[in-house]
Amino acid sequence: MLCFVFRSAAVAFAGGVLLASVQMATAQGQGEQKPPEQAQGEQKAQPAEEGQKPADAAAAEHEAQAKAVAEYEEAKAKLPRAAGAPECVWTGRRIASLLWRDDVDTANRYIALYDRFGCSQDHLRLAFRCVVQQGPIDPKAADRLASRVHGCWISPEGPTGLTDATTATTTTTTTTKSGTVPN
């Protein structure tokens, strides 16, 4: 008889715990209900805001894509097959940028990929030399580094842009005056 009472008490306790947890979950879920009209209005407004990009952002994205395609076409037209192939341009520019930022380990991994594509080691060496010879770049100006690397990839024989040459001259002048060399 004692066993029956103990089992009944345990079942009643478990049922009570289960009922209490269900009631708590229901109460939490109903805590912030809104009138149906307001909830429907918000649901209609959200897809329009999330699904559509502003015209400026879409135009900027399209412009960036067009610029990237134009850069690959320029490389294909001006460089021999080994250096002008899109896979060589992409990996080669990435390697030059990584080397500039002193990320040698990652650059070595990309060099293995670059070799697998059959790309020109000489062109990579000349392009990186061009990037280095133009002098320091502000580490926070990633777009300047990308522009310089692309210019050197297309024409590794010398400086490719007035802005890069001007930046190098200005940086050299300031470092001479202050006595420190920027990274």
Rounded Cα distance between 1 and 40, Å, is 58
Rounded Cα distance between 160 and 131, Å, is 10
Give the domain ranges of the chain.
74-175
pTM above 0.75?
Answer: no
For the chain (length 183 residues), average pLDDT per consecutive 10?
A: 58 57 57 54 51 72 85 85 88 94 94 92 94 88 88 80 41 42 46
Rg (CA), the chain: 31
